Amino acid sequence: MTCLSCKSKLQTIYNFGKIPLVNSFNKIKKISNKKFNLNLKVCKKCKILQLTNFPKKEEIFRNYKHTSSGSADNLKHLNSFANIIKKKIRKNSKILEIGSNDGSLLNFLSKMGFDCTGVEPASNLKKFYNKKIYLINDFFSENIIQRLKFKQYDLIVGLNVFAHYSDVQNSFKLISKILKNNGSFIFEVAYAFDTIHNSKYDTIYHEHVFNHTATGLKKMLELANLNLIKIEKIKTQGGSLRIYAQKKPKTSSINIKLLEIEKKHKVNSIKTYKKISKLITNKIHEIDSIYNQHIRKDKNLLFVGAPARGVIFFNTTLFKNHKKILCIDDSKTKSNCYFPGSNFKIKLANKNMDLIKKSQQAVILSWNYKKTLIERLKKHNFKGKIYIFFPKTEIIYLS
């Protein structure tokens, strides 16, 4: 395969072998455990990290179990983002969200007086939408242009969605087409320089066809006649970028600073990407060593959270061999579904208080919300060792 952006040749960085889809939480084990090859590559020309031989988008996104409202911390982030938008554009502006999930962000925005349109392919999520939001239950493509509520929009947003599109280059071109001349395009993506380049390999999975850097995104946007206005680093997803783009050319000093930092760290060098393979190998070896040395194999092990990143962690380490696992998560869409690649089902925390209390060892899989989850374990009277493996390994003892 060639690069999905510039069509140049690719080079393999790390092949994980066959891994289940990270959101294939299903009550039928065979469906939940179906595996696909996960092969991370980099373009030799534009240096964009990407996957090859990924599953069809319908298989991943038509029945999607992750919900934006499934995490209280994520809802706080969406509310904060909505307030940023409120300060930037006038009331009654026309807003389009691509990959609107369960409509959580659009709910905040519609209450603020904005005219909201959502595009979301997951058919199981449309039940969450109210009549104030115009929803197109389909993939974002040229085929839906005639179904949009408006021909052009004041603001187009997409949070953690533009790593998902194999045809993201065409998506950016389409956004340029339906964005008003003075409109804004704001989106967030996990930042490869803060994640993969720092051995946080659990962000590499089938949904993330791309793993973005500022350098790569600048090139992709330019190919779509969109221009960077501003880039912010934010803490979500273990390290993310918030990108501001417009049709009119303008570059801020913030962009230049971040691009210069990436240049200094040789983001444009193939040698830099070759080092990633060793980083991933070393991290997996470190995790396996802790499992062998510290985890009691005959005792119950508590998994806290059932995030996408947790599926990668589980299926690439010796933890997949543990026989006694209790996985708790607050998401009702995942409750009583199999954890992908396993023989155990996910349970709601509030219905398993006694089992949580009796457990003496726990792994926080949703490590980006570790402070919240540690406090919750304390409230559930958990007393034992807590293991956190990203962004760095921590062992915390609650007594």
The reply to whether 297-398 shares the fold of 52-271 is yes
- pLDDT score of 250 more than 60: no
The per-residue pLDDT for 329 is 93
Smallest Cα–Cα separation from 311: which of 66, 122, 72, 104? 66
Identify the pLDDT of residue 287.
Answer: 98
List, for residues 95-110, the tens digit of each pLDDT value: 999 999 999 999 999 9
| pLDDT tens string 149-199 | 999 999 999 999 988 878 888 899 999 999 999 999 999 998 988 888 888
Give the pLDDT of residue 249: 66
Domain 297-398 is found in CATH 3.40.50.720: yes
388 pLDDT band (50/70/90 cuts)? very high
Tokens of 197: 């380049």
Residue 394: what pLDDT? Answer: 96
Q: What confidence tens digit (pLDDT) does each residue in 282-328 have?
A: 999 999 999 999 999 999 999 999 999 999 999 999 999 999 999 99
End-to-end C-alpha distance for the chain, whole angstroms: 53
Domain 52-271, what architecture? 3-Layer(aba) Sandwich (3.40)
Q: Give residue limits of the domains in the chain.
A: 52-271, 297-398
pLDDT (0 to 100) of residue 254 = 57
Give the residue-averaged pLDDT of 328-347. Answer: 94
**Residue 378 pLDDT > 90:** yes
Of the candidates 328, 49, 325, the residue with the CA atom closest to the CA atom of residue 203? 49
Confidence of residue 21 (pLDDT cuts 50, 70, 90): very high
pLDDT band at 219 (very low <50, low <70, confident <90, very high): confident
**Residue corresponding to tokens 């059932």:** 306
3-class state of residue 284 by DSSP: helix
Strands of the chain (E only): list them: 10-20, 35-43, 49-52, 94-98, 115-119, 134-136, 153-159, 179-190, 210-211, 227-234, 240-246, 301-304, 325-328, 346-347, 361-364, 384-388, 394-398
3-state secondary structure of 321: helix
Share of the chain above pLDDT 70, in %: 98
What pLDDT is attached to residue 372? Answer: 92
Alpha-carbon span 97 to 105, nearest angstrom: 9
Task: Give the pairing type, strands 325-328 and 346-347.
Answer: parallel
Helix (H, G, I), strand (E, B) or coil at 148: coil
Q: What is the mean pLDDT of residues 12-24?
A: 94
Report the pLDDT value the prediction gives residue 252, as an integer from 0 to 100. 54
Question: What average pLDDT does the chain have?
Answer: 91
pTM to 2 decimal places = 0.81
pLDDT of amino acid 33: 96
